Structure formats: structure tokens, C-alpha cells
Structure 1
Amino acid sequence: MCSHYQALKEQERLQRLFLVQPPADLGKVDMWPGYTGTFVRAHPQSQVGDEAVPAREALPGLFGLVPHWSPDTKITQYTYNARSETVASKPSFRDAWNKAQHCIIPAEAIFEPDWRSGRPVPTRIARADGEPLGIAGLWSAWKSPQGEVVHSFTMLTLNAAQHPLMRLFHKPNDEKRMVVILHDDQYDDWLNARPEHSKPLLRPYPADNLAARAALGPQTTLF
């Protein structure tokens, strides 16, 4: 499960690679649950036929999905990842899934603990070509007791027991999981997919297209 990632810090890079107008503030770069970062979704009016309306938009949101029924935003500490196997039925995520509230979370890298030495070694995992990750997610809009609309998002995950790279992380007896990383040419497919067409897009990203190295100490490539 991914609770820590590095967001894009350059507005030009977000605009060029994700084809969106960046928000004035991209939020934090070093992202943890409950922090505000940037996510990308289909523009709500993108299907009206107006060429002036962009296909996508970028918004600030909390890392950790806040369902409409939550009394506050503390739930973000538990809803930053959604299991693809149960996302359609879990109360925290099923409304966003059934409404196809798909989003993409731009990230330079994610971080996972490598326990093979017997202790956790924070490990930075990124695309081998240096381009940012586009992580498949869901978004939600929550209204606070004061009437403020707060956007939030979660990352979708898969079982990684057979993945050559991602199976190496987490404690030995923990289930191996990985976030869903989309290929560049899948971005529009994901953002516009209906619920019944969504699951086929949730596939493991090839290990050969990823690179991992220790995040602390000597910058040694591990994989």
C-alpha cells in the first residue's frame, strides 16, 4: 500500500505531460495522507461539444478519499488506497466507483519499505525513463459542516504477489500490493471509462519500466 509519494513541483511539467492548466498552488511535494496535492480528472463539461472546454482539469485535493457521509476529514488516514478487488462494495469508495469519478494522480515517485535486510529501507520507485507516474485513482467532493466543498482522492491498488519488483516490498508476511500505474496512452481511457469498463484498465505496470533505489543514504540502485 502506498502512503507516501513525491508529487510534481513544476507547473510547466504538469501542464505539458498531463495536458491540464495547473492550479495556482500544486500543494505539497512530499505527500502523506491528509496532505493537499494535485489530481487530474475529466472536465465536467468536456462532453458538451464546446471546443473551448478542456478535456481535463487539475484540482487540489486531500490525499485520502473523504466520502460524502464522513463527519470530518480524519478518515483520510485510512482511505488513501482503495483495493481494486473490493472498491465497488466498500462504503468509503463505492459511490465514487459507481459514479466513475476517476482521476489520475501525477507523481514523480512512490516510496515503499524494502524489508529484505530485516529492517525497513525506504525505497524510491519511479519510471525508468524519468517521466512522471500517472496513478489511477478515484476522487470525491465532500461538504464540510461550514458549507465548504473539499475535494479528495485515493489511489487504486492491485495484488503484487507475482510482480517481479513490487513483490519485494513490505513485511515478509504482509500481502504484497502495488498502485495502478497507467500508461500514457491510457489516461483518457481511464478518465472517461464507465464503471463496467473500468476493471480491465487496472493492470500491473511492467517491472522493466520501473527503477528503484534506496531513498536515504548512498543513492544505490537496488533494482
Structure 2
Amino acid sequence: MCSHYEAPLRQLLQSGFPSAAIPGAWDKPDMWPGYVGPFIRRPAEIDSGDEAVPPLEVLAGNFGLIPAWSKDDGMAKRTYNARSETAAEKPAFRDAWRHAQHCIIPAEAIYEPDWRSGKAMPTRIARSDGELMGIAGLYERRPVGDGGWAYSFTMLTLNADVHPIFKELHRPDPTKPADLQDKRMVAILPRRLYDAWLDAPADRSMDFMRQFPADRLFAKSADKT
């Protein structure tokens, strides 16, 4: 599953999401679990009737979802991906799933290991048309300080056993049970479904867990050795 991706810098993010307000700041474009990066959601005031409220907002949050009840910031290194099939049941994700706290995680590219040579070869995967990826995710917030909020997010994943690109990635983990040995991919949304995903109720979330077409992706080795 995806633990490494490229977050777009502000100018590129604004061009990809021109209607979004971008008040937040993030660490760096090279993202790993626990780093701070951008995610996109509906503003909390979207239904207020105030015409000044933008349709989308970009917030900065931890890559790795930290539920409101947790005091463990290190948890982000274990919750950066959520299996869509079980997110409604897992303690870390179930509140965000049940409350349809949907977000979009923008990425220029994601990185996955290709083990076909016998060793992990970093592989960069991006959209072949050069557009940003919009990855379906869940977000959470926790109160901090004097009325502030700390945000975090996770990427949703789905089975990729038959996907032409992702079926070749990752190595089976003998420490995991057989039902967790499937190949996985993040849920990359077509642009036409961005609004629908952000507005979908919890009971429609699985409708968006679809494989992104392989012919609309470009994968190449990122090995620097």
C-alpha cells in the first residue's frame, strides 16, 4: 500500500483545484507517514448560505489518520492507508467512515515497490495525462490548544489482484494472514467524481472504490542506483 507520494506545491495545487481556498501550509512535497501535507474537503460552513464560503478548501494534516480519541501521534505511521472493505469496522477509521468524512488527497505521483527482480525497485506512478491524482481519503480532527484543530488523513485502498500495473507491485508478507495477502492500490478518483465523493453519505462510500484504468497511468522505475 502507498506510504510515499509527491504532494503538489501550492501553485500546482491551485491550478488543479482552482475553486479551492488554500490557507494551509505543509512541510515538503516528498511525503511519508507522519509528515504534514495537503488534503481537500468541503468547508465546515458550506451549508451556511454564505456566498463567500468557497466550495472546496485545502487544509494541512498529518499523513496517517489519528482518531479524535487517540493521544498517540505516532499512530500516523500505522494508519496512512485504510482498507476500504474494513474501514467501517476498524477502531482507527470507523468514526471517519461512518460520518462520511471524505477528502481528496492531491498527488503528483505515488511510489510503490516492484519486487519482480527479486529486490524492491521503487516505481513512480502518475497519471499519463500529467494531471494531479485525486486520491479518495478520510480525514479526522482533534482539538488542540485554545480552540484549534489538528487534522490528519488516510488514503483508502482497494483490491488490485487483476490490475495490470498494481498486481505486479509489493511482495507477499508471510507474517500476514491469507486474507490480507491481496495486492492493493489507492482509490484514485476521476475528476468528474470529485464533487460526488465529497458529498456522498457513508452508505455510498464503497461505490467509489473502483480501479483507476491502467491505460491512464504511467509507471517507471525510480531507482537511483
2:110 aligns with 110
Letter in 1 for 2:219: A
Cα distance in 2 for residues equivalent to 1:21 and 1:42: 10
Listed as ranges, the matches of 1:1-223 within 5 Å are 1-9=1-9, 11-18=10-17, 19-144=19-144, 149-172=149-172, 174-217=181-224
Cα distance in 1 for residues equivalent to 2:52 and 2:147: 30
1:101 deviates by 0.5
Cα distance in 1 for residues equivalent to 2:54 and 2:11: 17
Cα distance in 1 for residues equivalent to 2:223 and 2:118: 16
Q: TM-score, normalised by structure 1?
A: 0.92
Q: TM-score, normalised by structure 2?
A: 0.91
Task: Encode CA deviations 1:27-62: one digit per residue, 9 max, x unaligned.
Answer: 320000000000000111112332211111000000
Task: Encode CA deviations 1:181-202: one digit per residue, 9 max, x unaligned.
Answer: 0000111000111001111111
Matched pairs, number? 217
Question: Percent identity over the alignment?
Answer: 54
Cα distance in 2 for residues equivalent to 1:23 and 1:50: 18
Letter in 1 for 2:220: R
Task: Encode CA deviations 1:115-158: one digit per residue, 9 max, x unaligned.
Answer: 00001000000000111100000000023588752100000000
1:94 deviates by 0.6
- Structure 1: give runs of 5+ residues left out of the alignment: 219-223
1:205 deviates by 0.3
**Greater displacement, 49-58 / 36-45:** 49-58
1:221 aligns with none
When the two chains are superposed, the root-mean-square deviation of aligned CA atoms in Å is: 1.6
Name the SS of the counterpart of 2:131 in structure 1: coil
Cα distance in 1 for residues equivalent to 2:192 and 2:167: 26
1:169 deviates by 0.2
Cα distance in 2 for residues equivalent to 1:24 and 1:188: 21
- Structure 2: give runs of 5+ residues left out of the alignment: 174-180
